Amino acid sequence: MATTEPIIPGFHPDPSACRVGDTYYLINSSFEYLPGIPVHASTDLVTWTLIGNALTRDSQIAENDGYASAGIFAPTIRHHDGQFWIIGTNVNEIPLGRGHLLIHADDPAGPWSDPVHIAGAVGIDPDIVWDDEGVAHVTWHSLNPAQPGILSAPVDTATGAMLGAPRQLWQGTGLSAPEGPHLYRVNGWWYLLLAEGGTERGHTATIARARSLDEPFESAPNNPFLTHRSLAHPVQNVGHADLIELADGSWAAVHLGVRPVGPSPGFHLNGRESFLVGIEWVDGWPVADEDRFVVPAVDRSFDDRFDSPELHPRWLGIGRFPATFTRPGPNGGLVVDADAGEGRALIVARAADSEWAVETTFAADGGEGRLLLRIDDFHWYGLTYDGHTVEASVTIGPIVHVLGQWNPPAGAVPTLRLAAKAPRPLPHGISLEPDLIELSASVGDTAYSFGELDGRYLSTEVAGGFTGRVFGVQALRGQIHIHHLSYTTAPDYHATT
């Protein structure tokens, strides 16, 4: 059961990874959140550290408070000739016809360059690879109705210009949504890996090979070589993989998966996550070894007092860079300013565990703030505080409902708390909910619970889309002053997954 534990849990979909020496780097899709494209590093492939984000300024990506699952889709990271390269798609730019964005960096922690765009490449999920002559080839899932499918073209990485007309490569085994292409040069072959079947329960990874990019690709005899479709496995939606050669010459693949829980049809709560499998090459084809790696449990708790001048890279804005609406507090902490520019003044971080608690205290300072857990604008639970009253509210689709109010003792700043808890077990082992979200507030020993809500309304199966749960604090009015925000992994987490 080695693969039941993600290597990077929480909303970290579409992993792509590369290696330099003994160090591995992994990136993910980031959709509406900015800064975009989280970059993790590892030396053992099973424990990863967030070292930065690739898209950190508006000269790389325009701020855009639009549809939650637009923005950055499925990027690829590679290292070539002493430099790191990331190619990705900003879906908000597809109508502009701008093409995929290509950036590079000396240090994967950043800063990353301003982008060049692959003009004329209209689609998603781009990959970049260099051939034996050093020419870069970009491969993507085309959204151009005149030339659909998986396309590939040589490009000039300095300008983004295509150096030849796009050609169609292998279109997959015939399952739906062939996408997420990655091309590799291995032992004189070109291997083309695809995600097929769609990013839901039918998801798979498939592969084919050809001697040259102009020849027909031959599908692997063991396709799909990685999938959990129709299996009674706690990790589902397995697909969208990227192969990596390890320092010792063995191989592995990072891939996307989810952990659905609760009653049928199963609800996944923290989004699409990053997993790892070993790869054996058998007769020239990759075969997944799902038991090769054991991923250790990691305590992801933190207590952020915002006492360094730069925000930790875990903090994101919705279509906005947090630096545009936050600043260090006068005596520590963080000021979040609802009046700073357009859009929401909301900092969020990804929920990573099955059970956790988030606590914060902030001074309303004449304004009003909210601690919330969200999957998108139409699915969130929150606690607002205006200096006098704590109010709990939920938004589920078009239904906006106030659960209740609590007045803490005058003059006291309450601690606001959201906690994800295990569902109520039923005698036959099936729970009624995927999890429960408790909303509460306290001052000292006096606590008030607004109740425990079914967590399914903050799941992808209910909300739709490609992201996952994030928690954070929003200034609704004026400038609120956050003293701290802590995230605590429940100690019994592993007993419940």
Contact residues for ligand 6LW, defined by CB under 6 A: 13-14, 29, 73-74, 124-125, 179-180, 195, 199, 240, 256, 466
With a CB cutoff of 8 Å and minimum separation 6, the contacts of 150 are 139, 140, 141, 142, 168, 169, 170, 171, 172, 178, 179, 181, 192, 194
Whole-number minimum distance, CB 184 to ligand 6LW, in Å?
A: 17
Q: Is 179 an annotated catalytic residue?
A: yes
Give the side-chain half-sphere CA count within 13 A for 326: 28
3-state helix, strand, coil in the chain (%, to 5): 5, 50, 45
Residues 304, 305, 311: CA angle, nearest 5 degrees: 70
Give the side-chain half-sphere CA count within 13 A for 315: 24
Cβ proximity to ligand 6LW, 102 vs 256, nearer residue: 256
Calpha distance 482→337 (Å, rounded): 11
Which of the residues 14, 290, 304, 353 is marked catalytic? 14
Q: Which residue is nearest to ligand 6LW (CB)?
A: 199
CB 471 within 8 A of CB 351: yes
Calpha distance 94→121 (Å, rounded): 9
Cβ proximity to ligand 6LW, 267 vs 325, nearer residue: 267
Whole-number minimum distance, CB 243 to ligand 6LW, in Å?
A: 16
Q: Is 386 an annotated catalytic residue?
A: no
SS3 assignment, position 135: coil
Q: Which token pair is 66?
A: 């639009």
Whole-number minimum distance, CB 30 to ligand 6LW, in Å?
A: 10
Kindly list the distances between the CA atom of residue 171 and the CA atoms of 16, 94, 120, 185, 217, in Å, as whole numbers in the listed order: 20, 22, 20, 18, 9
Cβ proximity to ligand 6LW, 15 vs 278, nearer residue: 15
Which of the residues 32, 125, 127, 179 is marked catalytic? 179
Whole-number minimum distance, CB 115 to ligand 6LW, in Å?
A: 18
Whole-number minimum distance, CB 118 to ligand 6LW, in Å?
A: 16
CB 336 within 8 A of CB 344: no
Kindly list the distances between the CA atom of residue 457 and the CA atoms of 12, 341, 397, 454, 468, in Å, as whole numbers in the listed order: 20, 31, 9, 7, 12
Residue among 388, 418, 386, 392 nearest 404 (CA): 392
Whole-number minimum distance, CB 141 to ligand 6LW, in Å?
A: 7
Whole-number minimum distance, CB 398 to ligand 6LW, in Å?
A: 25
Residue 422 has phi, psi (to 5 degrees) of: -60, 150
Cβ proximity to ligand 6LW, 101 vs 124, nearer residue: 124
Residue among 177, 176, 175, 181 nearest 194 (CA): 181
Cβ proximity to ligand 6LW, 118 vs 256, nearer residue: 256
Cβ proximity to ligand 6LW, 93 vs 454, nearer residue: 93
Cβ proximity to ligand 6LW, 61 vs 392, nearer residue: 61
Q: Which token pair is 12?
A: 């970290």
Kindly list the distances between the CA atom of residue 238 and the CA atoms of 30, 186, 270, 467, in Å, as whole numbers in the listed order: 19, 24, 15, 16
DSSP H or E segment with residue 461: helix 460-463
Whole-number minimum distance, CB 286 to ligand 6LW, in Å?
A: 19
Cβ proximity to ligand 6LW, 195 vs 261, nearer residue: 195
Residues 442, 308, 25: CA angle, nearest 5 degrees: 105
Whole-number minimum distance, CB 125 to ligand 6LW, in Å?
A: 5
Cβ proximity to ligand 6LW, 8 vs 124, nearer residue: 124
Calpha distance 296→2 (Å, rounded): 10
Active site residues: 14, 179
